[in-house]
Structure 1
Amino acid sequence: MSTKFSEDVVPLTELKINPGRVVKHVAEAHRPVLLTSRGRGVAVVQSLTDYEQVEDEREFMRAVVAGLADLEAGREVSLAEAKARLGLK
């Protein structure tokens, strides 16, 4: 999801004039749009679907990192013990 500066940088005035076009663009391109004011970035617009996907991936990666940290710290249990704790056979 790399930004295409020729397509994904939009002045705030353009968003005010035609917000539907910007929303359609982010939904179709699956890339966020950088909103600018006086040539400086001020906000990012992203489709809800893409935002949720990124958040799910971020949450998964945090869980992986936490799991690896637990392994390094010696906080692990065997599969049999985990099944017993969860009441599984």
Structure 2
Amino acid sequence: MQTKFSEDVIPLSELKVNPGKVVNHVKDTHRPVLVTSRGRGVAVVQGLDDYENNKEELEFVKAIAQGLMEIREGETTDISAVKKQLGL
């Protein structure tokens, strides 16, 4: 998801004047829009599906990192113990 600064950075005044256009843009392009005020970034507008997907991916990556850290620290569980816990 590459940001196109000519299309994906808008002033707050543009969002106020035409919010529907901005929402349609993020839905169609699947790229977030950076909203600026006085030349500084103040908010991001992102499609709901894209936001939820990004959040799920982040949680998945965090879980993998946690698991790798536990392996590195020797905090593992034998498969037979897992099966017993699950009643298998």
TM-score of the pair, normalised by structure 2: 0.94
Take 1:56 and 1:18, find their aligned partners in 2: how far apart are those partners? 30
- 1:7-26 Cα offsets, whole Å, 9 max, x none, are 00111111111100000000
Matched residues in 1 for 2:18 and 2:53: separation?
26
- Structure 2 unaligned residues grouped into runs of 5+: none
Q: Which residue of 2 aligns with 1:22?
A: 22
Mapped partners of 1:7, 1:22: distance in 2? 10
**What residue in structure 1 maps to residue 48 of structure 2?**
48
State the match for 2:59 in structure 1. 59
Q: Please, what is the CA RMSD of the aligned residues?
A: 0.9
Alignment match, 2:37: 37
In the comparison of the two structures, how many residue pairs are matched?
A: 88
Which residue does the alignment assign to 1:86?
A: 86
Q: Tell me the distance in 1 between the aligned counterparts of 2:80 and 2:28.
A: 47
The answer as to 2:74 corresponding to 1:71 is no
Q: Once the two structures are aligned, what percentage of the paired residues are identical?
A: 58
1:78 deviates by 2.0
Task: Name the structure 1 match of 2:12.
Answer: 12
SS of the residue 2:76 aligns to: coil
After TM superposition, the runs of 4+ consecutive aligned structure 1 residues lying more than 3 A away are none
5+ long unaligned stretches in structure 1: none
2:61 and 2:39 mapped to 1: Cα distance? Answer: 34
